[in-house]
Structure 1
Amino acid sequence: MTVGAPGSEVVLETSRLLLRPWRVAEAVVQRELWTERDPRVPPHRRIDADGHPTVAELEEPIRTDTVWSTGLLAVERKASGDVIGYCGLVDGGRGPAGEPELAFELLRRSWRQGYATEASSAVVEWARSSGYERLWATVWDWNTASRRVLAKVGFTETDRKEVDPVRGTTLFTTRRL
């Protein structure tokens, strides 16, 4: 695994994947992720009736927001060079200050191939080497695949839950590093 110094551009490498900052041209991948989201995901995280966000609207944060350069990294398959989603850390998530949240989302065509686990493992190792002591992750109770990924990389469910009668229960998981 290759790691950038904390505070610099982060690039992580595994046997099959390269996790790196997003390129503006890859906003089309982000939009595809938006179109594939489960209907139980809150409306503000899905394409709306007017087609927003557009590719152009998704390009702007890639240009200007550090979350897309140092936090939520593009997951690129090294063999084919295609970007299949994102994985990384989000500061200011739902955990305590100084304890970032692990987040990942991959295109459906890349599911069930171990990529989410591989990418998440790389991010957990980067977090450990950067001095973090604990990570958080939230997951819908109905998202069994993501729950399995989190368990494989060492997260355990806490007693904390947020119940939404329409969308399901958000489970809070944590991992000590």
Structure 2
Amino acid sequence: MEHPTARVREIVLETDRLLLRPWQVSEAAVQREMWTERDPRVPPHRRIDAEGHPTLEDVEDWIRSWSQSGSPRVLAAERKASGDVIGYCGLIPNTDGSDDEPELAFELLRRVWGQGYATEAARAVLGWAQASGYRRLWATVRDWNGASRGVLAKLGFVETGRVDPDEVHGDSLFLARDL
């Protein structure tokens, strides 16, 4: 069987309301907006810093580099009805750097929270992952992030018992789902 990452550049997934597809450089502002909206409990390296980094140019460069990469990655979540990008969902190498059991990652703009888009997008990614031969996926979530924990529970992820304690930003919980 061909390794799942061999076809990552071709991934386009469709749901009733969403098109999940590779990012375009012209959409860097959407991704940067998500950085500005992040909860203050999110570690500083995942938020806009005092010097304004990452800049729009930084995000554009990341998108360019992703298009060259063959590893699992996140896809832009575009609403089919309006054509606007509202966030991302996809697979990233898990915390040990392995592509064999990647991590499910998703994030949406605040204005679309609570409308079921994260669950819808993640179900499509799970279906693709299973069809591509992945046997297990991981997810990490801060203990205080009840909304994301709820999405992961709906998708069948279960806590593994592994916790990375962090008194400042909240403990990171490790969840897994067999496919």
TM-score by length of 2: 0.91
Distance 1:161 1:95, change over 3 A: same
Match of 2:3 in 1: none
Partners of 1:107 and 1:49 in 2: CA distance: 22
Partners of 1:14 and 1:95 in 2: CA distance: 31
State which of 166, 170, 174 in structure 1 corresponds to 2:176. 174
Match of 1:28 in 2: 29
Q: Is the 8 A contact 1:21 1:70 kept in 2?
A: no
- Does the alignment pair 1:40 with 2:2? no
Q: Is the 8 A contact 1:12 1:20 kept in 2?
A: yes
Structure 1 residue matching 2:7: 3-state secondary structure? coil
Answer with 8-17 or 62-71: which moved more.
62-71
Deviations 1:106-160 (A, max 9, x none): 0000100000000000000000000000000000000000000001111011110
Correspondence 1:11-160 to 2 at 5 A? 11-66=12-67, 71-91=73-93, 93-94=94-95, 97=98, 98-160=100-162
Answer with 146-155 or 61-70: which moved more.
61-70
Q: Is the 8 A contact 1:21 1:68 kept in 2?
A: no
Unaligned runs of 5+ in 2: 1-5
Partners of 2:22 and 2:70 in 1: CA distance: 6
Quote the offset at 1:96 in angstroms.
Answer: 7.7
Partners of 2:113 and 2:138 in 1: CA distance: 22
Across the aligned residues of Structure 1 and Structure 2, the Cα RMSD in angstroms comes to 1.7
Quote the offset at 1:61 in angstroms.
Answer: 1.2
Aligned length: 172
Deviations 1:70-124 (A, max 9, x none): 5100000000000000000002x22683100000000000100000000000000
Distance 1:45 1:104, change over 3 A: same
Q: Is the 8 A contact 2:35 2:48 kept in 1?
A: yes
Partners of 2:123 and 2:104 in 1: CA distance: 10
Distance 1:28 1:7, change over 3 A: closer
Q: Is the 8 A contact 1:34 1:47 kept in 2?
A: yes
Q: Is the 8 A contact 1:135 1:174 kept in 2?
A: yes
Structure 1 residue matching 2:23: 3-state secondary structure? coil
Partners of 1:8 and 1:157 in 2: CA distance: 31
Unaligned runs of 5+ in 1: none
Deviations 1:57-79 (A, max 9, x none): 11011112246995100000000
AA paired with 1:72?
A: V
Distance 1:50 1:96, change over 3 A: closer
Partners of 2:123 and 2:8 in 1: CA distance: 20
Identity %: 66
Quote the offset at 1:6 in angstroms.
Answer: 3.0
Structure 2 residue matching 1:168: 3-state secondary structure? coil
